[in-house]
Amino acid sequence: MAQEGTPVSRRLSTVKNIIIVLSGKGGVGKSSVSTQLALNLHASSPTARVGILDVDLTGPSIPRMLGVDGQGVHQSSDGWVPVYADGSAARLACMSVGFLLKNKGDSVVWRGPKKNGMIRQFLSDVRWGDLDYLVIDTPPGTSDEHLSLLEHMAPIHSRLSAVIVTTPQAVALMDAMKCLSFTRAVNLPVLGLIENMSGYVCPCCGEISNVFSTGGGEEMARKEGLTFLGSLPVDTELVTLLDGGSPEGGESGELVTRYPDTPSAKLFKGILDVILRRLAEAPSS
């Protein structure tokens, strides 16, 4: 097929759905939502094959959240072999610039063309194999990385969709609006909006208290004609799991087995149901 002619489109021809996770503002929990989305998609069926690609080049956090940051990718004759976060099951593949840095904690200071080249390489050189879903975690805002991603994936645009993450605060919502305008400008379908850090799960009794404002995301979704995917409260169990990795990195598969017991996992199931329904409605390539 003519549209499958670029190295990126050829490599991603075995990927059924590509979900780009966006946020207007930094620190609203985009990477934790990307990680949870990948974990929930992985758990959605015993055969689901999921990839997660971290293109937050200057602040890659997915390897740490998945508990695999001590590991490295290696080069095969057919490209980079991703790191599997579910151990020998090998159904949850992860690729991040974090695996390529010499020292943990090193940061990447690259100009636009180098970032663009790295993103192209991530999209064309990773040996994902057959995937039902590829989740892409992006930097906050709408930057060179977002434009590069969309440019390289233009031939497979019909398989792309986005999820927008915000917190309930007015300043985050304003930035989420900018993000939404970006998706409209580049004609990227939005599956819906998630309001993260919406209320607080009490570590003693598990009750959700609305200590901060909540509902702003839902209100924005209603006004803008977006699907509201759901709210996720501040969950101390989740943060311990995602941020508490050992200095050497965690055991592969550990997060996959521990995550389902968190309050967030139970709430994310509802969000996943809506995402899967929305994906089924969307026209496929």
Ligand X SMILES: Nc1ncnc2c1ncn2[C@@H]1O[C@H](COP(=O)(O)OP(=O)(O)OP(=O)(O)O)[C@@H](O)[C@H]1O
Among the listed residues 3, 181, 209, 210, the single contact to ligand SF4 using CB under 6 A? 209
Q: Which residue is nearest to ligand SF4 (CB)?
A: 202
- Residues linked to residue 163 through DSSP beta bridges, in sequence order: 21, 192
Other CB atoms within a 10 A radius of the CB of residue 213 amount to 13
H or E element in which residue 53 lies = strand 50-54
Shortest Cβ 233–ligand SF4 spacing (Å): 12
Among the listed residues 48, 147, 202, 239, the single contact to ligand SF4 using CB under 6 A? 202
Shortest Cβ 199–ligand SF4 spacing (Å): 11
Site for ligand SF4 (CB under 6 A): how many residues?
5
Q: Does 204 bind ligand SF4 (CB under 6 A)?
A: yes
Was 202 annotated as part of a binding site? yes
- Residues linked to residue 283 through DSSP beta bridges, in sequence order: none
Q: Does 181 bind ligand SF4 (CB under 6 A)?
A: no
Q: Does 78 bind ligand SF4 (CB under 6 A)?
A: no
Was 27 annotated as part of a binding site? yes
Query: Rg of the chain's alpha carbons, rounded to an integer?
Result: 18
Nearest CB to ligand X, comparing residues 68 and 156: 68
Nearest CB to ligand X, comparing residues 9 and 148: 148
Cα(15)–Cα(269) distance, rounded to whole angstroms? 23
Q: CA nearest 283: which of 181, 187, 213?
A: 187
Shortest Cβ 279–ligand SF4 spacing (Å): 36
Q: Which does 31 bind (CB under 5 to 8 A by kind): ligand X, ligand SF4, none?
A: ligand X
Checking DSSP bridges between strand 160-166 and strand 208-209, what pairing results, if any? unpaired
Structure tokens at 239: 């943060």
Cα(214)–Cα(212) distance, rounded to whole angstroms? 6
- Binding positions for ligand X, rule: CB under 6 A: 23, 26-32, 56, 59, 61, 140, 196-197, 232, 234-235, 238-239, 242-243
Cα(223)–Cα(201) distance, rounded to whole angstroms? 28
Q: Does 2 bind ligand SF4 (CB under 6 A)?
A: no
Query: What does residue 214 show for φ and ψ, rounded to 5 degrees?
Result: -135, 170
Q: Which does 242 bind (CB under 5 to 8 A by kind): ligand SF4, ligand X, none?
A: ligand X
Contact region for ligand SF4 (CB under 6 A) — 136-144, 191-199, 203-211, 215-223?
203-211
Tokens 């002619």: give the residue: 5
Cα(279)–Cα(273) distance, rounded to whole angstroms? 10
* Site residues, ligand SF4 (CB under 6 A): 202, 204-205, 207, 209
